[in-house]
Structure 1
Amino acid sequence: MTSKEERLAFLEEMKDVRRIRKANRADVATPRELTPGHVERQRAAVATPLKDTNPLTSDMVEPLTAHDILSWQRPGIQHGVFRKFRLGQYPIEARLDLHRMTVEEARREVYRFIGDCVRYGLRSVIILHGKGERNPDGIAQLKSYLAKWLPELNDVLAFHSAQKHHGGTGAVYVMVRKSERDKQHNREIHGSR
């Protein structure tokens, strides 16, 4: 076939084709009406509440007063280590201040704070909860909840009310578990299993 014959054959094939009059661009405008899929996704989002993964109890707890001392440790903590810890002899690597927070806000912050401590390898921290001395009933609400929450967190090894110069019974030292990464690092340095 010559080029003239090819051209004629091409034109014969294309005789019913009509030219597109619109611009050669995609329509990217947002549709004005809601599609059934959009409505269904919106309904599902509203109907399904977010799952609270925070394990800390939000039930009622045993009330504590301003002068009650908090003290708790998991089995296996050496006596000398706990003694040094409760006397405030370990450097404080981070602090969380719960003053002026609601119980729910404090619950979220404590959970997040302990998780961050493990993630960043912080072992000895302090949480300032206040004494509740201004409360008419004399109950230290955040302190009471904190005494219940800290043992519920597997990453907390021990806690004890702080020394006077760190806030006394209005604050608590918290000993945090080593992260797996830090444990592995120690194994490598010291050559143990």
Structure 2
Amino acid sequence: MQEDDDFSLFAQEVQGIRPMKKTEVYLGKKQGGVDFTERKIAAQVAKVEDRNHLSKDYVERVDPDDMLEYKKDGVQDGVFKRLRQGKYGIESRLDLHRRTVEQARREVFQFVEDCMRHDIRVGIIVHGKGDRTPDPLEQATIKSFINKWLRDLDDVMAFHTAQRHHGGLGAVYVLFRKSEKARLENWERHQKR
């Protein structure tokens, strides 16, 4: 009779507990209660920030003098070569000098979103070489994160260290994915031929 034993054990444990009166139930902010408005606002802000999936926890370090390059499958070699040579017009620019890693993370994410919203195909991010930091373990921190973050963003098709006149080893050209609108315009242009 396990059930009887459980019931009697339960009855012993709750002995002396009285039900609450309806007036004792907390229904809001009365009598110094908790204000959930701040929590609600914080949750909404956190939800917006959650869209930014770029990590600032760990990054494989690059050297201040390393060249950065990356291209996704599907990017034509000729397109990547023109990007590498700086032959595309730069339509947008982001300068990350004197930024913390967290500030850079937010700004890079927003920069890519803005470029996509405005149908920008090529931008440049100036991250600096990071060679002026005396501690060798802290050198090229932002550059290292740029190398990781741009690979993690679906809208970035390719990037390459800029030509000297655009910032050299302290900057990267970024090729963005074509927007649906630009793709449709391109398709229509080729259909008329």
- Flag whether TM exceeds 0.5 (same fold): yes
Secondary structure of the structure 1 residue equivalent to 2:70: strand
**1:86 is matched by which residue type in structure 2?**
R
Counterparts of 2:129 and 2:82, CA distance in 1: 23
Counterparts of 1:120 and 1:176, CA distance in 2: 11
Task: Output aligned runs, 1:11-90, within 5 Å.
Answer: 36=29, 40-42=35-37, 44-45=39-40, 48=43, 50-51=46-47, 52-90=50-88
Kindly provide the CA deviation profile for residues 40-84 of structure 1, in whole angstroms up to 9, marking residues without a partner as x: 432533774613210111111011121000000001111111111
**Map of 1:31 onto structure 2:** none
Where structure 2 has 5 or more consecutive residues not aligned to the other structure, the ranges are 1-27
Query: TM (normalized to structure 2)?
Result: 0.76
Larger radius of gyration: 1
Kindly indicate which of the two structures has a greater share of residues assigned to helix: 2
TM-superposed CA distance for 1:148, in Å, is 0.3
Counterparts of 1:132 and 1:92, CA distance in 2: 23
Query: TM (normalized to structure 1)?
Result: 0.76
**Map of 1:125 onto structure 2:** 123
Where structure 1 has 5 or more consecutive residues not aligned to the other structure, the ranges are 1-34
**Map of 1:135 onto structure 2:** 133
Counterparts of 2:41 and 2:83, CA distance in 1: 47
Distance 1:43 1:124, change over 3 A: closer
Counterparts of 1:43 and 1:125, CA distance in 2: 38
TM-superposed CA distance for 1:133, in Å, is 1.3
Counterparts of 1:41 and 1:50, CA distance in 2: 15
Counterparts of 1:156 and 1:47, CA distance in 2: 30
**1:87 is matched by which residue type in structure 2?**
Q
Task: Output aligned runs, 1:114-193, within 5 Å.
Answer: 114-138=112-136, 139-191=139-191
